[in-house]
Amino acid sequence: MINGTLDDPFYYLVNFCNVLRWVRARYSDLLSAPEQDFIECFLSLPQASQALLVRMIMRKGIVFRASKLTYEEIGLAEQAIVPLQQHGWVDLEPTLTLEQLFGLLTKKEITANFKQYLPKATISKREMLEKVREALQEESSEEVRCFKGWCEDADECLYALTIMGMCDRFRLMLFGNLRQDWSEFVLAELGVYRYETVEFSMSSRAFRTRDDIDLYLHIHDCRERFEQGESAVTILEALPGPITTNSWLESRRAKLLYQLAQHHERMNEPATAVTLYKACAYPGARVRRLRVLERSGQYDEAFDVAQDAEATPESEAEKQHVQRILPRLRRKLGLPQLPKQGSIAFERMTLKLPKPAGESVEAAVRDHLSKKEGPVHYVENTLLNALFGLLCWDTIFAAVPGAFFHPFHVGPADLLRADFYHKRAALFEACLSQLDSAAYQTTIWNNFAAKQGIQSPFIYWEAISEALLDQALTCLPAKHLKQWFERMLIDLKANRAGFPDLIQFWPNERRYKMIEVKGPGDRLQDNQLRWLEFCTQHDMPVAVCYVQWATSPYEASEA
């Protein structure tokens, strides 16, 4: 797909036409008759009419004042709109809710039309909306009305899109999600974002069936309604049952079910929350169910759930939670306690430092510990993720079926799905085998130079300098890199985070130390504890630095 150049005043139209052709070429079997008709009719319209429609599609909302649709390359909107109205794609006499109306009017216009309901004091548009809505509800007169029905003196036309749902469907077919929008084309043309070029076939696409698209849109609609405050009960009634034909869509449905269960938990409705968590396969649902059972005094059932989770934990995180909960349940049920597991034997450092002005505690510790012969870097999760991303670049961007289907992928579409690693196991094995020789350094340096600035789910380029990379490859043993990367691949979603904040290198000695920083009152998070345990088990130098603020310069201490 070739983007429209920004030198062309109709660049946005070129991009939209490319999307329509892209969708038609790859989804012809899934397009409805109205969708196919739209594509054919649109591509045959006069350029000005095409451009006006695309301008509206790419703007926020679906209703526009004619006076706000002035574009030099299009000319008169009232002429360009005629074919759009004839096809039924734009309504020139739309009805508006009060909220839609306030989105179109300026504060001055709102005051002029609704001054009888508003105080003389200056208030925001949101407050104006609430005041007018309350007044109209008291009069039992709030409703949808045409523009003149709301504003008698209105003397301009409104244009309302009637095809936004169809256009969102086209966008979904292209991107495989509704998170990305038409601005991707512009940002790519400006060079703000650069994407890896991945070869994929004409048959590569996000959805296999029309039902998959409909289900995605339905779940998305349910989530938006829930986020906008609609009753959790009505959302649950609208939510489809388990989707056995598509694990990806089922994970999206399960996530919303998990959020509904959380809502009932917050509303102190434990029975409903337990029922929903039990029916939900989303990661973490079993632990949440266990916690609700424990809090509501259902210790026998909670103990059964905890034993199941202990025997077959879904993740390291669940295992960690269950190990904390089981001793409490044993006490409450009068059961004998099992021997306690020893605490993690990581190194502990203490510092008392002057409290810096406008600087984080991590930066303060970095500056305090850094020496010429032992520089300290504030890297948190960026360094090891970048090393993994650079070493495994070709595997991450391998043209695995279903992983890439448009030119704007930051990473493979299945990156965080359960089968991501298994689909590429042989590729990753070959990639990580480079760590058994010096080959890995050549690969990392080559990709650092060749891929600079290209979007990656593992690399934040601004945080990775040549000097930092050189020190890392000098000081970090290949054996440790391999162990870290293998653990990351067990659960990419969880294990990309939790690395210590700082890393100190001694290049002349080819050694390092990772340092997690905790300020006053701060404590280790669960994912940090898991990484600390892993590092200590594998004899990797890691420490936790506990910081207190000195009340005077004389109290400052050394590590």
**269: three-class secondary structure by DSSP:** coil
Distance from the Cα of residue 118 to its chain's centroid: 40
Quote the CA–CA distance of 196 and 96 in Å, as a whole number.
44
Task: Select the CATH number that applies to the domain covering 203-332 from these four: 3.40.50.720, 1.10.10.10, 2.160.20.10, 1.25.40.10.
Answer: 1.25.40.10
Q: Hey, where are the domains in the chain?
A: 1-92+157-193, 203-332, 347-555
CA distances from 510 to 289, 477, 543 (A): 48, 9, 18
Lowest mean pLDDT among 272-286, 330-344, 349-363, 487-501: 330-344
Distance CA(218)–CA(246), nearest Å, equals: 15
d(CA 330, CA 312): 19
* Cα dist from 170 to 87, 214, 243, whole Å: 18, 12, 23
Beta bridge partners of 512: 505
pLDDT at 3 over 90: no
∠ CA(476), CA(477), CA(482), 5° rounding? Answer: 105
Phi/psi for 351 (5° steps) reads -135, 145
* Contact predicate 370/423, CB 8 Å: no
143 pLDDT exceeds 60?
yes
The set of residues, in sequence order, having a beta carbon less than 8 Å from that of 382 and lying 6+ positions away, is 460, 463, 464
Q: What is the pLDDT of residue 267?
A: 96
Q: What is the pLDDT of residue 528?
A: 95
pTM of the model: 0.87
Share in percent of the chain as helix, strand, coil (round to 5):
55, 10, 40
Per the model's pLDDT, the better-predicted residue between 189 and 96 turns out to be: 96
**What pLDDT digit, counting tens, does each position of 248-285 carry?**
999 999 999 999 999 999 999 999 999 999 999 999 99
pLDDT of 76 above 90: yes
Exposure string for 250-263, b = 16+ CB within 10 A, e = fewer = bbbbbbbbbbbbbb
Question: The dihedral of CA 177, 178, 182, 187: what is its sign?
Answer: negative
Q: Is the pLDDT of residue 4 over 60?
A: no
Q: CA 124, CA 363: separation in Å to the nearest integer?
A: 40
